[in-house]
Chain A
Protein backbone atom coordinates (compact mmCIF):
# COMPACT_ATOMS: atom_id res chain seq x y z
CA UNK A 1 0.00 0.00 0.00
CA UNK A 2 1.35 3.40 -0.85
CA UNK A 3 1.94 5.89 1.92
CA UNK A 4 -0.78 8.22 0.60
CA UNK A 5 -3.39 5.52 0.42
CA UNK A 6 -2.53 4.38 3.90
CA UNK A 7 -2.80 7.90 5.28
CA UNK A 8 -6.19 8.42 3.61
CA UNK A 9 -7.55 5.13 4.89
CA UNK A 10 -6.29 5.81 8.40
CA UNK A 11 -7.79 9.28 8.38
CA UNK A 12 -11.11 7.83 7.18
CA UNK A 13 -11.15 5.37 10.08
CA UNK A 14 -10.43 8.11 12.61
CA UNK A 15 -13.10 10.40 11.13
CA UNK A 16 -15.58 7.53 11.23
CA UNK A 17 -14.80 6.99 14.90
CA UNK A 18 -15.08 10.72 15.54
CA UNK A 19 -18.79 10.33 14.76
CA UNK A 20 -18.98 7.26 17.00
CA UNK A 21 -21.51 8.72 19.49
CA UNK A 22 -23.94 9.32 16.61
CA UNK A 23 -23.27 6.09 14.73
CA UNK A 24 -23.40 3.72 17.69
CA UNK A 25 -27.14 4.28 18.49
CA UNK A 26 -27.90 3.22 14.90
CA UNK A 27 -26.25 -0.09 15.72
CA UNK A 28 -28.10 -0.25 19.07
CA UNK A 29 -24.82 0.11 20.91
CA UNK A 30 -24.11 2.23 23.94
CA UNK A 31 -21.34 4.73 23.30
CA UNK A 32 -19.37 3.31 26.24
CA UNK A 33 -19.15 -0.01 24.38
CA UNK A 34 -17.42 1.73 21.50
CA UNK A 35 -15.14 3.46 24.03
CA UNK A 36 -14.35 -0.05 25.23
CA UNK A 37 -13.34 -1.05 21.69
CA UNK A 38 -10.85 1.82 21.48
CA UNK A 39 -9.47 1.13 24.95
CA UNK A 40 -9.08 -2.62 24.47
CA UNK A 41 -7.47 -2.01 21.05
CA UNK A 42 -4.56 -0.35 22.90
CA UNK A 43 -4.08 -3.49 25.02
CA UNK A 44 -4.26 -5.67 21.90
CA UNK A 45 -1.56 -3.48 20.34
CA UNK A 46 0.62 -4.11 23.38
CA UNK A 47 0.34 -7.85 22.72
CA UNK A 48 0.86 -7.31 19.00
CA UNK A 49 4.20 -5.59 19.59
CA UNK A 50 5.52 -8.59 21.54
CA UNK A 51 3.81 -11.49 19.79
CA UNK A 52 2.97 -10.16 16.32
CA UNK A 53 6.22 -8.29 15.72
CA UNK A 54 8.83 -9.78 18.06
CA UNK A 55 7.48 -13.33 18.17
CA UNK A 56 7.39 -13.52 21.97
CA UNK A 57 4.33 -15.34 23.33
CA UNK A 58 2.93 -12.50 25.43
CA UNK A 59 0.47 -14.59 27.38
CA UNK A 60 0.52 -12.40 30.48
CA UNK A 61 -0.20 -8.87 29.36
CA UNK A 62 -3.33 -8.79 31.52
CA UNK A 63 -0.93 -8.32 34.45
CA UNK A 64 0.01 -4.85 33.20
CA UNK A 65 -3.55 -4.19 32.10
CA UNK A 66 -4.87 -5.03 35.57
CA UNK A 67 -2.10 -3.04 37.24
CA UNK A 68 -3.26 -0.07 35.18
CA UNK A 69 -6.83 -0.57 36.23
CA UNK A 70 -5.99 -1.06 39.92
CA UNK A 71 -3.44 1.76 39.80
CA UNK A 72 -6.15 4.14 38.65
CA UNK A 73 -8.85 2.79 40.97
CA UNK A 74 -6.70 2.64 44.10
CA UNK A 75 -5.32 6.12 43.58
CA UNK A 76 -8.84 7.50 43.13
CA UNK A 77 -10.16 5.68 46.18
CA UNK A 78 -7.33 6.32 48.62
CA UNK A 79 -5.77 9.52 47.35
CA UNK A 80 -8.75 11.18 45.65
CA UNK A 81 -6.72 11.97 42.55
CA UNK A 82 -8.40 13.50 39.52
CA UNK A 83 -9.15 12.01 36.14
CA UNK A 84 -5.93 12.81 34.28
CA UNK A 85 -3.73 11.88 37.25
CA UNK A 86 -5.50 8.53 37.55
CA UNK A 87 -4.68 7.74 33.91
CA UNK A 88 -1.04 8.68 34.43
CA UNK A 89 -0.77 6.63 37.64
CA UNK A 90 -2.37 3.60 36.01
CA UNK A 91 -0.06 3.82 33.01
CA UNK A 92 3.00 4.15 35.24
CA UNK A 93 1.78 1.15 37.26
CA UNK A 94 1.80 -0.90 34.05
CA UNK A 95 5.30 0.33 33.20
CA UNK A 96 6.54 -0.52 36.71
CA UNK A 97 5.05 -3.99 36.38
CA UNK A 98 7.02 -4.39 33.14
CA UNK A 99 10.20 -3.11 34.80
CA UNK A 100 9.84 -5.66 37.60
CA UNK A 101 9.00 -8.65 35.39
CA UNK A 102 11.18 -7.95 32.34
CA UNK A 103 14.50 -9.04 33.91
CA UNK A 104 12.95 -12.44 34.68
CA UNK A 105 11.03 -12.83 31.42
CA UNK A 106 14.17 -11.95 29.43
CA UNK A 107 15.84 -15.14 30.59
CA UNK A 108 13.55 -17.38 28.56
CA UNK A 109 12.26 -17.57 25.01
CA UNK A 110 9.52 -19.41 23.21
CA UNK A 111 6.89 -21.30 25.12
CA UNK A 112 8.78 -20.84 28.41
CA UNK A 113 8.51 -17.10 28.00
CA UNK A 114 4.77 -17.59 27.62
CA UNK A 115 4.49 -19.83 30.69
CA UNK A 116 6.56 -17.43 32.80
CA UNK A 117 4.34 -14.55 31.65
CA UNK A 118 1.23 -16.42 32.74
CA UNK A 119 2.78 -17.41 36.07
CA UNK A 120 3.88 -13.90 36.97
CA UNK A 121 0.52 -12.53 35.88
CA UNK A 122 -1.25 -14.93 38.23
CA UNK A 123 0.86 -13.63 41.12
CA UNK A 124 -0.72 -10.20 40.63
CA UNK A 125 -4.11 -11.81 40.22
CA UNK A 126 -3.85 -13.55 43.58
CA UNK A 127 -2.57 -10.44 45.32
CA UNK A 128 -5.67 -8.55 44.14
CA UNK A 129 -7.84 -11.52 44.96
CA UNK A 130 -6.55 -12.12 48.49
CA UNK A 131 -5.69 -8.62 49.68
CA UNK A 132 -9.35 -7.97 50.36
CA UNK A 133 -8.87 -5.08 52.81
CA UNK A 134 -7.32 -2.89 50.17
CA UNK A 135 -8.54 -4.24 46.85
CA UNK A 136 -11.98 -5.53 47.75
CA UNK A 137 -10.87 -9.05 46.86
CA UNK A 138 -13.01 -11.08 44.54
CA UNK A 139 -15.77 -8.44 44.48
CA UNK A 140 -13.39 -5.89 43.06
CA UNK A 141 -13.66 -2.22 43.89
CA UNK A 142 -16.16 0.25 42.64
CA UNK A 143 -14.91 3.81 42.37
CA UNK A 144 -16.82 6.82 41.09
CA UNK A 145 -15.30 8.42 38.00
CA UNK A 146 -13.10 11.24 39.25
CA UNK A 147 -13.50 14.85 38.17
CA UNK A 148 -11.46 16.31 35.40
CA UNK A 149 -9.57 19.26 36.82
CA UNK A 150 -7.65 21.84 34.83
CA UNK A 151 -6.36 24.92 36.64
CA UNK A 152 -9.34 26.00 38.74
CA UNK A 153 -12.05 24.61 36.54
CA UNK A 154 -13.37 21.13 37.02
CA UNK A 155 -15.91 19.04 35.24
CA UNK A 156 -17.44 15.61 35.43
CA UNK A 157 -16.47 13.26 32.61
CA UNK A 158 -19.62 11.96 30.94
CA UNK A 159 -19.67 8.79 28.84
CA UNK A 160 -19.81 11.11 25.85
CA UNK A 161 -16.75 13.01 27.02
CA UNK A 162 -14.96 9.78 27.91
CA UNK A 163 -15.43 8.54 24.37
CA UNK A 164 -13.30 11.36 23.03
CA UNK A 165 -10.67 10.83 25.71
CA UNK A 166 -10.50 7.18 24.62
CA UNK A 167 -10.36 8.17 20.95
CA UNK A 168 -7.57 10.66 21.60
CA UNK A 169 -5.49 8.07 23.45
CA UNK A 170 -6.19 5.50 20.76
CA UNK A 171 -5.02 7.83 17.99
CA UNK A 172 -1.87 8.67 19.94
CA UNK A 173 -1.27 4.96 20.55
CA UNK A 174 -1.71 4.06 16.87
CA UNK A 175 0.65 6.80 15.72
CA UNK A 176 3.23 5.80 18.33
CA UNK A 177 2.83 2.13 17.46
CA UNK A 178 3.22 2.70 13.74
CA UNK A 179 6.25 4.91 14.29
CA UNK A 180 7.84 2.26 16.50
CA UNK A 181 7.31 -0.68 14.16
CA UNK A 182 8.54 1.30 11.15
CA UNK A 183 11.66 2.50 12.94
CA UNK A 184 14.99 0.66 12.85
CA UNK A 185 14.11 -0.52 16.35
CA UNK A 186 10.87 -2.05 15.09
CA UNK A 187 12.65 -3.61 12.13
CA UNK A 188 15.07 -5.22 14.54
CA UNK A 189 12.15 -6.67 16.50
CA UNK A 190 10.87 -8.24 13.27
CA UNK A 191 14.33 -9.63 12.63
CA UNK A 192 14.38 -11.11 16.15
CA UNK A 193 11.04 -12.77 15.47
CA UNK A 194 12.48 -14.38 12.41
CA UNK A 195 15.76 -15.56 13.86
CA UNK A 196 17.23 -14.27 17.07
CA UNK A 197 20.69 -15.92 16.92
CA UNK A 198 21.17 -14.37 13.50
CA UNK A 199 20.55 -10.90 14.94
CA UNK A 200 23.04 -11.64 17.69
CA UNK A 201 25.90 -12.60 15.42
CA UNK A 202 25.33 -9.38 13.51
CA UNK A 203 26.45 -7.69 16.72
CA UNK A 204 23.16 -6.68 18.34
CA UNK A 205 22.36 -7.49 21.95
CA UNK A 206 18.84 -8.77 21.45
CA UNK A 207 18.11 -8.82 25.19
CA UNK A 208 18.17 -5.04 25.18
CA UNK A 209 15.73 -4.79 22.31
CA UNK A 210 13.36 -7.23 23.97
CA UNK A 211 13.67 -5.38 27.27
CA UNK A 212 12.62 -2.10 25.64
CA UNK A 213 9.80 -3.84 23.75
CA UNK A 214 8.54 -5.27 27.05
CA UNK A 215 8.55 -1.83 28.65
CA UNK A 216 6.68 -0.26 25.73
CA UNK A 217 4.18 -3.11 25.77
CA UNK A 218 3.57 -2.96 29.51
CA UNK A 219 3.13 0.80 29.36
CA UNK A 220 0.52 0.49 26.61
CA UNK A 221 -1.27 -2.28 28.50
CA UNK A 222 -1.17 -0.13 31.65
CA UNK A 223 -2.71 2.81 29.79
CA UNK A 224 -5.41 0.57 28.40
CA UNK A 225 -6.12 -0.83 31.86
CA UNK A 226 -6.31 2.61 33.47
CA UNK A 227 -8.77 3.81 30.83
CA UNK A 228 -10.71 0.58 31.11
CA UNK A 229 -11.03 0.90 34.89
CA UNK A 230 -12.17 4.51 34.62
CA UNK A 231 -14.61 3.63 31.84
CA UNK A 232 -16.50 1.06 33.89
CA UNK A 233 -15.71 2.68 37.27
CA UNK A 234 -14.56 -0.69 38.46
CA UNK A 235 -11.40 -2.69 39.07
CA UNK A 236 -11.64 -6.44 39.62
CA UNK A 237 -9.20 -9.36 39.82
CA UNK A 238 -10.27 -10.98 36.55
CA UNK A 239 -8.71 -8.01 34.74
CA UNK A 240 -5.36 -9.47 35.87
CA UNK A 241 -6.24 -13.05 35.06
CA UNK A 242 -4.64 -15.14 32.33
CA UNK A 243 -8.03 -15.49 30.64
CA UNK A 244 -7.92 -11.76 30.05
CA UNK A 245 -4.44 -12.16 28.51
CA UNK A 246 -5.90 -14.87 26.32
CA UNK A 247 -8.61 -12.55 25.02
CA UNK A 248 -5.98 -10.03 24.02
CA UNK A 249 -4.01 -12.68 22.14
CA UNK A 250 -7.17 -13.98 20.52
CA UNK A 251 -8.22 -10.51 19.41
CA UNK A 252 -4.78 -9.89 17.98
CA UNK A 253 -4.83 -13.09 15.92
CA UNK A 254 -8.39 -12.43 14.74
CA UNK A 255 -7.55 -8.90 13.68
CA UNK A 256 -4.18 -9.64 12.12
CA UNK A 257 -0.88 -10.15 13.90
CA UNK A 258 1.91 -7.89 12.79
CA UNK A 259 -0.41 -5.28 11.29
CA UNK A 260 -0.88 -1.79 12.71
CA UNK A 261 -4.67 -1.65 12.42
CA UNK A 262 -5.36 -5.34 13.07
CA UNK A 263 -5.55 -4.64 16.80
CA UNK A 264 -8.53 -2.34 16.29
CA UNK A 265 -10.30 -4.89 14.11
CA UNK A 266 -9.69 -7.64 16.67
CA UNK A 267 -10.77 -5.50 19.61
CA UNK A 268 -13.89 -4.46 17.68
CA UNK A 269 -14.94 -8.06 17.07
CA UNK A 270 -14.10 -9.14 20.59
CA UNK A 271 -15.83 -6.30 22.45
CA UNK A 272 -18.86 -5.86 20.19
CA UNK A 273 -19.31 -9.60 19.63
CA UNK A 274 -19.05 -10.18 23.32
CA UNK A 275 -21.64 -7.48 23.98
CA UNK A 276 -24.17 -8.55 21.34
CA UNK A 277 -23.92 -12.32 21.69
CA UNK A 278 -23.87 -12.28 25.50
CA UNK A 279 -27.29 -10.58 25.52
CA UNK A 280 -28.63 -13.47 23.45
CA UNK A 281 -26.95 -16.41 25.15
CA UNK A 282 -24.63 -16.86 28.09
CA UNK A 283 -22.65 -19.28 25.92
CA UNK A 284 -21.13 -16.47 23.93
CA UNK A 285 -17.63 -17.81 24.41
CA UNK A 286 -18.50 -20.80 22.22
CA UNK A 287 -19.07 -18.45 19.31
CA UNK A 288 -15.88 -16.57 19.95
CA UNK A 289 -14.01 -19.86 20.19
CA UNK A 290 -15.52 -21.14 16.94
CA UNK A 291 -14.57 -17.92 15.20
CA UNK A 292 -11.05 -18.24 16.52
CA UNK A 293 -10.71 -21.84 15.32
CA UNK A 294 -12.03 -20.86 11.90
CA UNK A 295 -9.59 -17.99 11.80
CA UNK A 296 -6.54 -20.12 12.62
CA UNK A 297 -7.59 -22.82 10.14
CA UNK A 298 -8.70 -20.72 7.21
CA UNK A 299 -7.12 -17.30 7.47
CA UNK A 300 -4.18 -17.49 9.87
CA UNK A 301 -3.06 -13.99 8.99
CA UNK A 302 -6.20 -12.64 10.63
CA UNK A 303 -8.85 -10.50 9.05
CA UNK A 304 -6.74 -7.50 8.21
CA UNK A 305 -3.68 -9.55 7.32
CA UNK A 306 -5.76 -11.59 4.87
CA UNK A 307 -7.31 -8.50 3.31
CA UNK A 308 -3.88 -6.95 2.86
CA UNK A 309 -2.59 -10.12 1.22
CA UNK A 310 -5.58 -10.14 -1.13
CA UNK A 311 -4.95 -6.50 -1.98
CA UNK A 312 -1.43 -7.32 -3.00
CA UNK A 313 -2.63 -9.88 -5.53
CA UNK A 314 -3.73 -7.04 -7.77
CA UNK A 315 -0.28 -5.95 -8.84
CA UNK A 316 -1.41 -2.97 -10.89
CA UNK A 317 -3.12 -1.52 -7.87
CA UNK A 318 -0.68 -2.10 -5.06
CA UNK A 319 2.09 -4.28 -6.33
CA UNK A 320 5.48 -2.93 -5.71
CA UNK A 321 8.43 -4.32 -3.94
CA UNK A 322 8.42 -1.98 -1.01
CA UNK A 323 5.08 -2.98 0.39
CA UNK A 324 5.01 -3.28 4.11
CA UNK A 325 3.58 -6.67 4.76
CA UNK A 326 5.06 -8.75 7.49
CA UNK A 327 3.34 -12.07 7.46
CA UNK A 328 3.96 -12.00 11.15
CA UNK A 329 2.75 -14.63 13.51
CA UNK A 330 1.43 -17.33 11.23
CA UNK A 331 0.34 -20.57 12.91
CA UNK A 332 0.92 -22.41 9.64
CA UNK A 333 4.35 -21.02 9.03
CA UNK A 334 7.09 -23.59 8.78
CA UNK A 335 9.79 -22.72 11.29
CA UNK A 336 13.20 -22.15 9.82
CA UNK A 337 15.21 -25.34 9.75
CA UNK A 338 17.00 -26.58 12.82
CA UNK A 339 20.50 -25.37 13.41
CA UNK A 340 20.37 -22.71 10.74
CA UNK A 341 21.15 -19.32 12.04
Chain B
Protein backbone atom coordinates (compact mmCIF):
# COMPACT_ATOMS: atom_id res chain seq x y z
CA UNK B 1 0.00 0.00 0.00
CA UNK B 2 1.19 3.50 -0.77
CA UNK B 3 1.71 6.07 1.94
CA UNK B 4 -1.55 6.46 3.88
CA UNK B 5 -3.67 9.58 3.41
CA UNK B 6 -5.06 9.27 6.91
CA UNK B 7 -3.33 7.55 9.78
CA UNK B 8 -4.55 7.23 13.35
CA UNK B 9 -1.98 5.98 15.80
CA UNK B 10 -2.91 4.97 19.34
CA UNK B 11 -5.83 7.39 19.57
CA UNK B 12 -7.60 7.56 22.94
CA UNK B 13 -10.65 9.78 23.32
CA UNK B 14 -12.85 10.46 26.31
CA UNK B 15 -16.27 11.92 26.82
CA UNK B 16 -15.69 13.51 30.19
CA UNK B 17 -14.19 10.74 32.34
CA UNK B 18 -15.51 7.93 30.21
CA UNK B 19 -12.96 6.50 27.83
CA UNK B 20 -14.56 5.80 24.47
CA UNK B 21 -11.61 5.02 22.23
CA UNK B 22 -8.74 2.87 23.48
CA UNK B 23 -5.61 2.90 21.43
CA UNK B 24 -7.27 3.03 18.02
CA UNK B 25 -4.90 2.80 15.08
CA UNK B 26 -6.05 2.70 11.51
CA UNK B 27 -5.08 3.94 8.06
CA UNK B 28 -6.85 4.99 4.90
CA UNK B 29 -4.81 5.08 1.71
CA UNK B 30 -5.20 7.43 -1.26
CA UNK B 31 -8.39 6.55 -3.09
CA UNK B 32 -9.10 3.66 -0.78
CA UNK B 33 -12.52 2.84 0.68
CA UNK B 34 -12.32 1.62 4.25
CA UNK B 35 -15.25 0.38 6.30
CA UNK B 36 -15.34 0.92 10.04
CA UNK B 37 -17.78 -1.56 11.50
CA UNK B 38 -19.10 -2.17 14.94
CA UNK B 39 -22.12 -2.17 17.16
CA UNK B 40 -23.89 0.83 18.54
CA UNK B 41 -21.62 2.45 21.08
CA UNK B 42 -18.46 0.79 19.81
CA UNK B 43 -16.89 4.20 19.14
CA UNK B 44 -17.33 4.52 15.38
CA UNK B 45 -18.73 8.04 15.40
CA UNK B 46 -16.24 9.07 18.08
CA UNK B 47 -13.44 7.94 15.79
CA UNK B 48 -14.73 10.31 13.13
CA UNK B 49 -15.14 13.12 15.62
CA UNK B 50 -11.59 12.57 16.80
CA UNK B 51 -10.30 12.87 13.24
CA UNK B 52 -12.27 16.09 12.73
CA UNK B 53 -11.21 17.62 16.02
CA UNK B 54 -14.79 17.81 17.27
CA UNK B 55 -13.74 15.69 20.26
CA UNK B 56 -9.96 16.07 20.40
CA UNK B 57 -8.09 12.89 21.37
CA UNK B 58 -6.41 12.74 24.77
CA UNK B 59 -3.57 10.62 23.46
CA UNK B 60 -2.29 9.37 20.15
CA UNK B 61 -1.88 11.17 16.85
CA UNK B 62 -4.01 11.80 13.79
CA UNK B 63 -2.03 12.37 10.63
CA UNK B 64 -3.44 13.56 7.33
CA UNK B 65 -1.18 13.46 4.27
CA UNK B 66 1.78 13.16 6.60
CA UNK B 67 0.82 16.24 8.62
CA UNK B 68 0.01 15.92 12.30
CA UNK B 69 -3.50 17.32 12.68
CA UNK B 70 -4.27 15.99 16.17
CA UNK B 71 -6.68 18.32 17.95
CA UNK B 72 -6.83 20.87 15.14
CA UNK B 73 -10.08 22.85 15.05
CA UNK B 74 -12.63 21.28 12.74
CA UNK B 75 -12.62 24.12 10.22
CA UNK B 76 -8.88 23.72 9.63
CA UNK B 77 -9.18 19.97 9.17
CA UNK B 78 -12.04 20.58 6.72
CA UNK B 79 -9.92 23.03 4.73
CA UNK B 80 -7.25 20.37 4.24
CA UNK B 81 -9.81 18.42 2.23
CA UNK B 82 -11.63 16.24 4.73
CA UNK B 83 -15.37 16.13 4.04
CA UNK B 84 -17.88 14.84 6.55
CA UNK B 85 -21.32 13.35 5.94
CA UNK B 86 -22.68 13.07 9.45
CA UNK B 87 -25.03 10.51 10.89
CA UNK B 88 -28.65 11.54 10.51
CA UNK B 89 -27.61 13.93 7.71
CA UNK B 90 -27.84 17.17 9.72
CA UNK B 91 -28.82 19.85 7.27
CA UNK B 92 -29.31 23.50 8.04
CA UNK B 93 -33.06 23.19 7.97
CA UNK B 94 -33.74 26.93 7.74
CA UNK B 95 -31.57 27.31 4.66
CA UNK B 96 -32.49 26.24 1.15
CA UNK B 97 -30.84 23.34 -0.64
CA UNK B 98 -28.78 25.77 -2.69
CA UNK B 99 -27.75 27.77 0.37
CA UNK B 100 -26.69 24.60 2.15
CA UNK B 101 -24.41 23.84 -0.77
CA UNK B 102 -23.10 27.41 -1.02
CA UNK B 103 -22.16 27.35 2.64
CA UNK B 104 -19.91 24.36 2.06
CA UNK B 105 -18.25 25.73 -1.09
CA UNK B 106 -14.89 26.79 0.20
CA UNK B 107 -13.18 28.17 -2.84
CA UNK B 108 -10.44 25.52 -2.78
CA UNK B 109 -11.49 24.79 -6.31
CA UNK B 110 -11.63 21.39 -7.91
CA UNK B 111 -13.77 19.20 -10.05
CA UNK B 112 -16.90 19.41 -7.93
CA UNK B 113 -18.96 22.57 -8.35
CA UNK B 114 -22.59 23.17 -7.48
CA UNK B 115 -23.74 22.73 -11.12
CA UNK B 116 -21.83 19.46 -11.30
CA UNK B 117 -23.44 18.24 -8.08
CA UNK B 118 -26.83 19.12 -9.56
CA UNK B 119 -25.91 17.20 -12.67
CA UNK B 120 -25.01 14.09 -10.70
CA UNK B 121 -27.89 14.42 -8.25
CA UNK B 122 -30.64 15.88 -10.47
CA UNK B 123 -33.14 15.54 -7.67
CA UNK B 124 -31.29 18.27 -5.79
CA UNK B 125 -31.49 20.65 -8.74
CA UNK B 126 -35.27 20.38 -8.69
CA UNK B 127 -35.30 21.15 -4.99
CA UNK B 128 -32.72 23.92 -5.05
CA UNK B 129 -34.92 26.56 -3.44
CA UNK B 130 -36.67 24.28 -0.97
CA UNK B 131 -35.78 24.54 2.69
CA UNK B 132 -33.60 21.60 3.68
CA UNK B 133 -35.93 20.97 6.62
CA UNK B 134 -38.67 20.08 4.16
CA UNK B 135 -36.67 17.47 2.25
CA UNK B 136 -37.28 13.78 2.75
CA UNK B 137 -34.69 11.63 4.47
CA UNK B 138 -33.29 10.34 1.20
CA UNK B 139 -33.15 13.82 -0.31
CA UNK B 140 -31.35 15.06 2.76
CA UNK B 141 -28.81 12.25 2.47
CA UNK B 142 -28.20 13.31 -1.16
CA UNK B 143 -27.80 16.89 0.00
CA UNK B 144 -25.41 15.82 2.76
CA UNK B 145 -23.28 14.03 0.19
CA UNK B 146 -23.55 16.96 -2.23
CA UNK B 147 -22.54 19.32 0.52
CA UNK B 148 -19.47 17.28 1.27
CA UNK B 149 -18.60 17.09 -2.45
CA UNK B 150 -18.66 20.80 -3.26
CA UNK B 151 -15.77 21.18 -0.83
CA UNK B 152 -13.81 18.83 -3.15
CA UNK B 153 -12.54 16.51 -0.46
CA UNK B 154 -9.69 14.04 -0.85
CA UNK B 155 -11.10 12.10 2.03
CA UNK B 156 -14.76 11.67 2.82
CA UNK B 157 -15.93 10.53 6.24
CA UNK B 158 -19.39 9.00 5.90
CA UNK B 159 -21.31 8.14 9.05
CA UNK B 160 -24.16 5.59 8.85
CA UNK B 161 -25.44 6.56 5.41
CA UNK B 162 -28.10 3.84 5.45
CA UNK B 163 -29.61 4.82 8.78
CA UNK B 164 -33.33 5.47 8.63
CA UNK B 165 -33.58 5.26 4.85
CA UNK B 166 -35.78 3.09 2.68
CA UNK B 167 -33.89 0.17 1.04
CA UNK B 168 -34.25 1.63 -2.46
CA UNK B 169 -32.74 4.91 -1.36
CA UNK B 170 -29.95 3.12 0.48
CA UNK B 171 -29.12 1.44 -2.82
CA UNK B 172 -29.02 4.86 -4.46
CA UNK B 173 -26.74 6.25 -1.79
CA UNK B 174 -24.32 3.35 -2.16
CA UNK B 175 -24.38 3.69 -5.93
CA UNK B 176 -23.26 7.30 -5.53
CA UNK B 177 -20.56 6.32 -3.05
CA UNK B 178 -19.40 3.71 -5.56
CA UNK B 179 -19.20 6.39 -8.27
CA UNK B 180 -17.21 8.58 -5.95
CA UNK B 181 -14.77 5.79 -5.36
CA UNK B 182 -14.20 5.66 -9.12
CA UNK B 183 -13.21 9.33 -9.10
CA UNK B 184 -10.43 8.59 -6.61
CA UNK B 185 -11.87 10.03 -3.43
CA UNK B 186 -10.79 8.11 -0.35
CA UNK B 187 -13.73 7.15 1.85
CA UNK B 188 -13.91 6.07 5.47
CA UNK B 189 -17.38 4.69 5.95
CA UNK B 190 -18.95 3.90 9.29
CA UNK B 191 -21.80 1.42 9.14
CA UNK B 192 -23.76 -0.92 11.36
CA UNK B 193 -25.02 -2.75 8.34
CA UNK B 194 -21.74 -4.57 7.79
CA UNK B 195 -22.48 -6.42 4.56
CA UNK B 196 -23.64 -3.26 2.86
CA UNK B 197 -20.44 -1.38 3.60
CA UNK B 198 -18.22 -4.37 2.83
CA UNK B 199 -19.59 -4.43 -0.72
CA UNK B 200 -17.85 -1.22 -1.69
CA UNK B 201 -14.97 -1.27 0.81
CA UNK B 202 -11.43 -2.39 0.07
CA UNK B 203 -10.53 -2.98 3.67
CA UNK B 204 -12.41 -3.13 6.95
CA UNK B 205 -11.83 -2.56 10.62
CA UNK B 206 -14.12 -3.79 13.37
CA UNK B 207 -14.45 -1.78 16.56
CA UNK B 208 -15.67 -3.23 19.81
CA UNK B 209 -15.88 -1.22 23.03
CA UNK B 210 -13.46 1.33 21.65
CA UNK B 211 -10.81 -1.15 20.49
CA UNK B 212 -9.95 -2.36 17.03
CA UNK B 213 -10.62 -6.10 17.20
CA UNK B 214 -10.16 -6.99 13.57
CA UNK B 215 -8.62 -5.56 10.44
CA UNK B 216 -8.31 -7.02 7.02
CA UNK B 217 -9.51 -7.16 3.44
CA UNK B 218 -13.20 -6.41 3.04
CA UNK B 219 -13.90 -9.28 0.65
CA UNK B 220 -12.36 -11.76 3.05
CA UNK B 221 -14.52 -10.55 5.92
CA UNK B 222 -17.63 -10.42 3.78
CA UNK B 223 -17.16 -14.04 2.80
CA UNK B 224 -16.80 -15.15 6.39
CA UNK B 225 -20.22 -14.63 7.94
CA UNK B 226 -19.29 -16.60 11.03
CA UNK B 227 -16.42 -14.26 11.58
CA UNK B 228 -18.66 -11.22 11.33
CA UNK B 229 -21.08 -12.84 13.72
CA UNK B 230 -18.41 -13.43 16.36
CA UNK B 231 -16.78 -10.05 15.88
CA UNK B 232 -19.92 -8.00 15.99
CA UNK B 233 -21.79 -10.23 18.36
CA UNK B 234 -24.95 -10.38 16.34
CA UNK B 235 -26.62 -12.22 13.55
CA UNK B 236 -26.02 -10.70 10.21
CA UNK B 237 -29.07 -10.74 8.08
CA UNK B 238 -28.28 -11.51 4.48
CA UNK B 239 -28.86 -8.48 2.29
CA UNK B 240 -29.34 -7.79 -1.37
List B residues 66-86 near A (Cβ within 8 Å): 73-75, 77-79, 84, 86
- Leading 5 A-B pairs by shortest Cβ distance: A203-B78, A322-B129, A200-B74, A201-B74, A321-B130
The listed residue (A203, A206, A341) touching B106 by CB distance below 8 A is: A203
Cα distance, A201 to B104, chains bound together (Å): 9
A187-B99, A187-B102, A321-B130 known; A201 vs B94 contact (CB < 8 Å): no
Task: Select from chain B the residue with minimum beta-carbon distance to A192.
Answer: B92
A195-B92, A201-B77 known; A340 vs B54 contact (CB < 8 Å): no
Min CB–CB distance B188 → chain A (angstroms): 14
A321-B129, A322-B96 known; A202 vs B104 contact (CB < 8 Å): yes
Whether a CB of chain B sits under 8 angstroms from the CB of A190 is: yes
Whether a CB of chain A sits under 8 angstroms from the CB of B95 is: yes
Whether a CB of chain B sits under 8 angstroms from the CB of A198 is: yes
Contact B75 A341 (CB under 8 A): no
Task: Select from chain A the residue with minimum beta-carbon distance to B92.
Answer: A191
Contact A199 B103 (CB under 8 A): yes
Residues of A within 8 A of B78 (CB): 200-203
Contact A195 B129 (CB under 8 A): no
Whether a CB of chain A sits under 8 angstroms from the CB of B123 is: no
Task: Show the binding face of B for A, using Cβ within 8 Å.
Answer: 45, 49, 52, 54, 73-75, 77-79, 84, 86-88, 90, 92-96, 99, 102-104, 106, 129-131, 134, 147, 151
Residues of A within 8 A of B88 (CB): 340
Cα distance, A197 to B73, chains bound together (Å): 10
Min CB–CB distance A199 → chain B (angstroms): 7
**1/0 contact trace for A177-210 toward B, CB 8 Å?**
0000000100110110011011111111110000
List A residues 190-239 near B (Cβ within 8 Å): 190-191, 194-195, 197-206
Contact A203 B94 (CB under 8 A): no
List A residues 323-337 near B (Cβ within 8 Å): 326-327
Cα distance, A191 to B79, chains bound together (Å): 18
List A residues 94-134 near B (Cβ within 8 Å): none
Centre residue among B75, B77, B84, B131 by max chain A CB count within 10 A? B75
Min CB–CB distance B145 → chain A (angstroms): 13
Residues of B within 8 A of A204 (CB): 75, 103, 106
Task: Select from chain B the residue with minimum beta-carbon distance to A204.
Answer: B75
Residues of B within 8 A of A191 (CB): 92, 95, 103
Min CB–CB distance B151 → chain A (angstroms): 6
Residues of B within 8 A of A190 (CB): 92, 94-95
Residues of B within 8 A of A199 (CB): 103
Contact B54 A201 (CB under 8 A): yes
The listed residue (B77, B93, B102) touching A194 by CB distance below 8 A is: B93
Cα distance, A124 to B131, chains bound together (Å): 42
* With A191-B103, A201-B75, A204-B103 already in contact, 14 other A-B pairs whose C-beta atoms are closer than 8 Å: A187-B99, A191-B95, A194-B93, A201-B77, A202-B78, A202-B106, A203-B151, A204-B75, A321-B96, A322-B96, A327-B94, A339-B45, A340-B90, A341-B49
Min CB–CB distance A116 → chain B (angstroms): 21
Q: Would you mind naming 24 contact pairs between A and B with Cβ atoms under 8 Å apart?
A: A188-B103, A190-B92, A190-B95, A191-B95, A198-B90, A199-B103, A200-B73, A200-B74, A201-B74, A201-B77, A202-B104, A202-B106, A202-B151, A203-B79, A203-B151, A204-B106, A205-B73, A205-B75, A321-B131, A322-B96, A322-B129, A339-B49, A341-B49, A341-B54
Residues of A within 8 A of B131 (CB): 321
Contact A198 B86 (CB under 8 A): yes
